[in-house]
Each structure stands twice: as C-alpha cells, then as structure tokens.
Structure 1
Amino acid sequence: MGSEKPKNSTLRLLTFSFLRKNHEFSVASLASKFSARSFGSSRTFRSTSSTSRPWSRVSRRIWKDSTLENSYQCIKTAWPVPIIEALFLPEFKIDLTKKHNFEVINVISRGAFGKVYRVMNNDSQEYFALKVLSKSKVLRDNYVSQVKDEVKIQSMCGHHPFIISSPQYWQDRRKLFIVSPYVEGGDLFDLSEKYGALPEELVKIYVAELGSALDFLHNAGVIYRDLKAENILLDSDGHVVLIDFGLSKWLKYGNRTNTLCGTLQYMAPEIFFLNGYGHAVDWWALGTLTVYLLTTKQRRLPVHDS
C-alpha cells in the first residue's frame, strides 16, 4: 500500500505535464476562452480588446498602453456606458470637454427641455446657436426618439438653403448639446408684430421659399408638423430659415401617422380629430401662416366659440 502513493504522485505529474504541453493549460488561456463566452448562454461575444466591438458595450474610459501590453488584459471587462448615456447613442457622441470650445454670449430663448444660447467658437470666433437640453426632462416626457430624429433630420437636410443645419451635436453626463448656425434676422412672428400685415409681394417670396423647403423635406421622407411664424427665422439677406425640428418625424411619402402634436392655430383638422394624417398637414399650416402674414389675424378655433 505504501508504494502506491509515489506511483500516484508520479502519474499526476505526468498527466499535468501532458495537459500543459498539449492543451496550453494556463490561467491566461482559460481566461481567454471564458471571456469569449457567456456562462449562461451558448451565444458568443467578442473579447473586450476587439476593435469592432458594438458601441453599447464600449466604456468611456480609454485604457493605457501598459494595460494593453499586459498578457492578462483579456480577463478585464469593459463596463458598458451608463444607461442615461447609452439611450442617446449613437446620434449623440459622448464628449465631456467640447462645450468648453464655446463662450456663452446670451440666452436666445427658453423651451420645455432647456435653453438656446448665442455662443462664440473660441477658435474661429464665429457665432452659433447652442441648444442645451436636460436629459432628465427629455426622459421624463419620453422624448428620446424625437430629439434623436431632430438632429439626424437637421444634419441630413440642412444643406437646403432654407433649412437650418446642425453640424455638431453631442452629450455629457447630464445634458444634450446641439449646435446650429446663428441666424441674426429674428423670426416672422416678431416681424409681423412690429410691422403688422406684410406686403403681398413679400409674403409671396416667403411662401415660395417655405414651399421649397417643405417639398424637399417631404421628398426626403420627413413630415415637419410644426410650421408657424415663430419657427421661421430670417437670415442677413432676408431669406427664410426653417428651424426647430423637435416635432418632425421620418415618414415615407404617402404613409400616415396619428400623433396629436403641433400648434393649435396651425393644426390641420385631421390632426386635431385623430383621423390619421400625412404630409398634407404641412401645406395646411402653410396656408394658415399665409393668412396670418397678410392679415396678422390668427385662425379662430372651434373652442373659441364654445
């Protein structure tokens, strides 16, 4: 019996050497294998060092070179970004320092989710409009998809001469930032309030330019849904610039939607009565706007007579 122990010990040593030589039995190899597979699922995942890793799993932290050269770095886990940041990706890239590139001059306007500032770029000395939105307020009103659509529509359609562009947009931990060109001529509402009814020849120009912008949006698969005097700015040459795409939506031409939104005075009946509507509601709003510019009178709603 006493001679069996050395034999067993020798056998175990030989077995261990064989496994290590032929199967690369090591802590690093085990970690590499298990890091590529979930214990609770048969679905495989790329390791944390993969350059093609999805954005939803990428950490904001950048690993140091010394970490990447470590042979055991494969057992490290890149934590996902916080949910309040992941919800706005990939449209709003995470940048904690870009806001410092702009100097705030004054507040232009205030809205339900934040403020719009007139700012100056510290490098180019150019003026821009910077919309700053509170993430908590956007989430409270379930407005995430709308704000993501807003920046995508402006960035993709902003090359039209009568549509505002959005060259930069990003997020930090608490805010969303949207940069647009600063349009200095004021809006049509202020113009009408100051001068009253506008000349018909001038209104024709405004309506033609707005019609060009709406037709462009519709052909791009966008319904605007908030055409009103307050959302139309005038540039330094007197041309219109359509702004504020917060209620806009991707909608294939000919399709219909049924969301109740917009401004009552400019709202088409099919929106108000929830009958389902398409791009034609923007043309209704343009007609209502035309009457206002020519007469300074707002459309009378049925509720005014009740």
Structure 2
Amino acid sequence: KGSFGKVCIVQKNDTKKMYAMKYMNKQKCVERNEVRNVFKELQIMQGLEHPFLVNLWYSFQDEEDMFMVVDLLLGGDLRYHLQQNVRFQEDTVKLFICELAMALDYLQSQRIIHRDMKPDNILLDEHGHVHITDFNIAAMLHGEMRLTTVAGTKPYMAPEMFDSRREAGYSFAVDWWSLGVTAYELLRGRRPYHIRSSTSSKEITHMFETAIVTYPSAWSQEMVSLLKKLLEPNPDQRFSHLSDVQNFPYMNDMNWDAVLQKRLIPGFIPNKGRLNCDPTFELEEMI
C-alpha cells in the first residue's frame, strides 16, 4: 500500500491472466489535490501500449475508490536491485539501454515526455526485461511546444531543466539524459554527479559547468562513448532518438527486431523464488 492507494494482484476470470491492480481512495485524492494528476496519468496511459512500458489495461471506479489494472511485473524495480548491491554487467546494461531507448522512442512518437526516468520507475519482468512505470508527472507536447515547468527527481534531471534562462524550455531530450544517468548508476552503483534532492538549483548548475564525470577504466570505450552521448549537457547534441542509438557503432551487433520481441536474454534474471522487493518498505511505498 502507498500514501493513498494500494496494489494487489488480481486474476481476470475468463482469461485467467494475472494483473496488478492499483486502487486509490477518491476522498484522499480530493484532499491531497491529486485528482487532476490521477486523471492526467490515466488519460496518458490509456493511449499507450508498448512491450517496455507498464501498460494500463482497465480502469474503473466505485463510490470509494478508483482502480487501475496494469501489467503485473514481479521482478522488482532497479532501485531495489541496486540496494541489494547488484552490479549489472555491461552487456545487461547495453540491452537495458536498447529496450529503454525503444520505449522512449515510442513515447516520443506519442508526444509524451516521461520526466521521471530513474531506477525506481523501471520494473523488471520475471525474465529480466525492463518496463517504464509511473506517468504521474509525464507531459504531453503539442506541435513544437516546449516545457518550462521544473518537474522530476533532481539527480536525474537534465541541465536544461535548471537553466535560469528557461525561456528556451526543454523537450524530449531530458528523458535521454535520465537514461544516461540511470545506465551509469546501474554499472557503477553511484551516479555520475553528486546531486541530492536537497541540492539547490544554483549548486546543480555550477556542478554541470565544473564537475568532470569519471568513467572507470574497466568499462569498454564503446560504452563510455555511448554514455557521453547521453550525458551531453547540450540537448541539441545529445542522443535523443532511437536512430542515434541504433546507428552508434557499439550497437552494430544488435538485432533490433529481436530486442523488441524480447528474444534477447538479459544477463540479470530476478530471483524467481523470492519477492523482489522489501515487503515492509515496498508494499507500503508502491504508489
């Protein structure tokens, strides 16, 4: 259960298929001023379906609660596995980058910026494939519009979101920066910049201008150069399309149809026999 909602596992009677069902108390939604957010999240999710997202299948309500029925993913989120001190091998992270790039490319085609890409919001299925969840602060972009509101989790937010000359705004490239930070963290167990949620915007801007990101010598040159393309401070030069990743020499050996069909076996398979979350904390914090 979470702040004003709970998650349970449900089964659809006719197909016997299992799902996760998230339910939220309507009164609490109103009290917390969350109604608009919840409806926006629903509206965005209703239009989406992709192998590397947590997809919404049904939504309904009764007098007390609103219900969302989504893909059931039992492999735990990537934050949990980082906390368990899993060090992800380079090949595993390479496949994660491919899968997540396909998801981001799909979101872009639907004009959606996620704005909160981070290990906490990436869930694994039992085979170890990644799925993006939590569209709570996602935004829809119309035409050439750009966003100016600051939203997200500071350690994963792109430099252009902190720009004091924000008239320029930001666009889809912010999610690709977050992908870079996430990939680096999965490989290293810590992030490329020492930014906390409490770090001020001014300090963060200064850090982006002065800090030098270090890459362990054990990492392949190809992985390092890909991460540098994702962690490019200038959004116009940053990799921010699937084609950028697909055409990168490091990805020459990738069969992209096989990636999309989940035919490639991830190097990390979550534990089958165990609950892949900390029951005391996680089931409280799920939503």
Tell me, yes or no, whether TM beats 0.5: yes
Measured in 2, the distance between the counterparts of 1:120 and 1:217 equals 28
Alignment partner of 1:292 is 2:222: no
Q: Give the SS at the match of 2:126.
A: coil
Alignment partner of 1:301 is 2:198: no
Q: Give the SS at the match of 1:169.
A: strand
Write out aligned runs for 1:132-151 (5 A): 132-151=23-42
Q: Which runs of 4+ in 1 moved over 6 A?
A: none
Alignment partner of 1:166 is 2:24: no
Measured in 1, the distance between the counterparts of 2:125 and 2:89 equals 19
CA-CA distance at 1:186 after TM superposition: 1.3
1:145 maps to amino acid: R
Measured in 2, the distance between the counterparts of 1:143 and 1:250 equals 18
Match of 1:206 in 2: 96
Match of 1:117 in 2: 8
1:119 maps to amino acid: V
2:115 maps to amino acid: R
Q: Give the SS at the match of 1:157.
A: coil
Tell me if structure 1 keeps the 8 A contact 2:150–2:161: yes
Would you say how many aligned residue pairs link Structure 1 and Structure 2?
196
Tell me if structure 2 keeps the 8 A contact 1:219–1:253: no
Residues 173 and 248 of structure 1: CA distance in aligned 2, closer, same or farther (over 3 Å): same
Residues 237 and 253 of structure 1: CA distance in aligned 2, closer, same or farther (over 3 Å): farther
Match of 1:196 in 2: 86
Match of 2:65 in 1: 175
Write out aligned runs for 1:70-81 (5 A): none
Match of 2:137 in 1: 247
Measured in 2, the distance between the counterparts of 1:140 and 1:270 equals 33
Match of 2:149 in 1: 259
1:208 maps to amino acid: C
Measured in 1, the distance between the counterparts of 2:28 and 2:182 equals 30
2:136 maps to amino acid: G
Match of 1:232 in 2: 122
Tell me if structure 2 keeps the 8 A contact 1:260–1:271: yes
Match of 2:175 in 1: 282
Q: Give the SS at the match of 1:130.
A: strand
CA-CA distance at 1:204 after TM superposition: 0.6
Gapped runs of 5+ residues in structure 2?
Answer: 204-287
CA-CA distance at 1:285 after TM superposition: 0.7
CA-CA distance at 1:215 after TM superposition: 1.1
Tell me if structure 1 keeps the 8 A contact 2:85–2:189: no
Measured in 2, the distance between the counterparts of 1:294 and 1:260 equals 28
Q: Which TM-score applies when normalising by structure 2?
A: 0.62
2:89 maps to amino acid: P
Measured in 2, the distance between the counterparts of 1:247 and 1:136 equals 21
Tell me if structure 2 keeps the 8 A contact 1:166–1:180: yes
The match for 2:109 among 219, 236, 244 is 219
Q: Which TM-score applies when normalising by structure 1?
A: 0.58
CA-CA distance at 1:273 after TM superposition: 5.0
**More contact order relative to length (CA 8 Å, sep ≥ 6):** 2
1:232 maps to amino acid: I
CA-CA distance at 1:155 after TM superposition: 2.6
Alignment partner of 1:126 is 2:17: yes
Match of 1:68 in 2: none
1:300 maps to amino acid: H
Residues 143 and 304 of structure 1: CA distance in aligned 2, closer, same or farther (over 3 Å): closer
Q: Give the SS at the match of 2:60.
A: strand
Match of 1:102 in 2: none
Measured in 1, the distance between the counterparts of 2:65 and 2:88 equals 40
RMSD (Å) for aligned C-alpha atoms: 2.3
CA-CA distance at 1:267 after TM superposition: 1.6
